[in-house]
Amino acid sequence: MPITQFLKKNAEKYPNQTALVEINPDVKELRRVTWKEYELIESGASQEYKREITWSVFEEKANRCANLLISRGIKKGDKVAILLMNCLEWLPIYFGILKSGALAVPINYRFTSDEIKYCLELADVDALVFGPEFIGRMEEICDKIPRVKLLFYVGDACPTFAENYLHLATNFSSVSPDIELNDHDDAAIYFSSGTTGFPKAILHNHESLMHSAITEQKHHGQTHDDVFLCIPPLYHTGAKMHWFGSLLSAGKAVLLKGIKPKNIIETISNEKCSIVWLLVPWAQDILDAIERGDFDLGDYSLAQWRLMHIGAQPVPPSLIKRWMTIFPNHQYDTNYGLSESIGPGAVHLGVENIHKVGAIGVAGYGWEVKIVSPDGIEVTDGEVGELAVKGPGVMTCYYKDEKATQEVLKDGWLLTGDMAKKDEDGFIYLVDRKKDVIISGGENLYPVQIEDFLRAHEAISDVAVIGLPDQRLGEIAAAIIQIKDGTSCSEDEINEFCKALPRYKRPHKIIFAPVPRNATGKIEKPRLREIYCGESLVASQVNS
């Protein structure tokens, strides 16, 4: 069943109940605006502290979007891209695209104009909906993307090369178009995060979307009374697929713009959020802010907050131990997935398994997992191999890239590129990305293990370990260390701390510098290698 049917059911069953709330803490004027009032002004989307829509309005807006697209010649199988920051319009537009029979193509809002152009061309996009933050980038490429015949703009001061989406959509029917959809119809194209190269286009069908929703709801037990706080970008499968659990239960969701710890805590308190999904850096920032005394938790209503879960990257066990010290009554879960497996849930820890913190867990609902050697043979417990997953959420293919598809899809199994091992209880532990493994003097070093160790140092805010070229050992491990604000640390202190590691695992080089992460919280290791590997290679050549 297409996931659009759940939106329709929620609108019928809970027409006047709140579906989505947008919170913009940067706006000081706390004036609420109704959706009807919003339609009567040219914009204001980014100027209101709080906006919200009901399930019936959500459905109506999605239908208006679908009917507008159909009127402009968009048909089943066409592609419509979304280039928006998180906002109240995002999800109604996404569902409107699906209702039109087209494929939704969310685009990373951090992409440069050249990357946007690349993605639009790779995915054969026919129309694009974009926001005010992207006018400059779109101006650079609007005359270089001839296939994209429709450019719709969401915001004020509509540029001359686009059409005002909000004004146009109000003139179309709020009744759902009669477009037949089935599980095997193509539904969406997502782009890989690019942490291992230029993004690939990942094609999913409607069954994938539906399975991600069912898996999420099974894992976290969302009820109609739960309120989900969504902070990560909606263009990524992680945020949206976690929200799908709220869609199935018709629970309210809050879209928070910004990641400041105090704003997160205030929003949880004010909106009575019960489920919060965080990325590792945000959780660390919250703990650091609490420990610094930036605010007092006693000033907020947090008793309803029942679940904190984390995904998108390996989670340091030390972080969760700190979290449970401050929030001892929270359920905790970690979720593993990738865009090729429609986001989180292929593997999950489970709230009942907090004693296994450090593991990513076991096979998720409806999923199978195994760990294999380079020749595809399943390895024994405790042995490191490549994690493979299988289930209804596996992508159809890399769009227009048969070679890359064949490299990762084997008899229905998706090779994830992540190295992992399984303990005697069947719990899976991530070791590292296959491409990030450092081979030093014939020994395999897994950066995640070294990073987890270093994060236990009280002065370290974030850390990334990469391999640098070395004439003698082939590669050496280098630790890029970001120190917490207001603290200091020396190289000698780090080296002394690392004496608790086996000698071959100790970083050979310590670099104090910021650790760059993308919008989904993943460390941008290609960028770090570009910065530091070149320098290391030059130094190596000079010393030879």
CATH architecture of 437-543: 2-Layer Sandwich (3.30)
- Note the pLDDT tens digit of each residue in 458-477: 899 999 999 888 766 768 99
Predicted confidence band of residue 317 (pLDDT cuts 50, 70, 90): confident
Please name which of 307, 331, 414, 317 lies closest in space to residue 359, comparing C-alpha atoms. 317
- Note the pLDDT tens digit of each residue in 269-301: 999 999 999 887 789 889 999 999 999 999 999
* Calpha distance 118→214 (Å, rounded): 33
* Calpha distance 213→6 (Å, rounded): 10
Which residues neighbour 311 within 8 Å (Cβ) at sequence distance 6 or greater? Answer: 238, 277, 334, 335, 336, 337, 344
**DSSP-derived pairing of the beta strands 385-390 and 413-422:** antiparallel
- The mean pLDDT value for 168-197 works out to 88
Q: What does the block give as tokens for 284?
A: 């660390």
pLDDT at 540: 36
In the DSSP assignment, the letter for residue 291 is H
User: What count of Cα atoms within 13 Å lies in the side-chain half-sphere of residue 121?
Assistant: 12
Answer whether CATH 3.40.50.12780 is correct for domain 4-228: yes
CB atoms within 10 A of CB 225: 11
Please name which of 421, 434, 286 lies closest in space to residue 358, comparing C-alpha atoms. 421
Which residues neighbour 492 within 8 Å (Cβ) at sequence distance 6 or greater? Answer: none
pLDDT at 47: 54
**DSSP-derived pairing of the beta strands 509-512 and 307-311:** unpaired
- The mean pLDDT value for 110-124 works out to 92
* Calpha distance 408→399 (Å, rounded): 13
Residue type for position 311: G
**Please, what is the angle between helix 206-220 and helix 237-249, to 10°?**
70
- For the chain, the structural domain boundaries read 4-228, 437-543
Please name which of 291, 241, 290 lies closest in space to residue 261, comparing C-alpha atoms. 290
CB atoms within 10 A of CB 379: 16
pLDDT at 538: 35
Cα-to-chain-centroid distance, residue 385: 25
- Note the pLDDT tens digit of each residue in 89-116: 999 999 999 999 999 999 988 888 988 9
- Note the pLDDT tens digit of each residue in 491-535: 999 999 999 887 878 999 999 999 988 766 778 887 888 888 755
pLDDT at 441: 64
Supply the mean pLDDT for the chain. Answer: 88
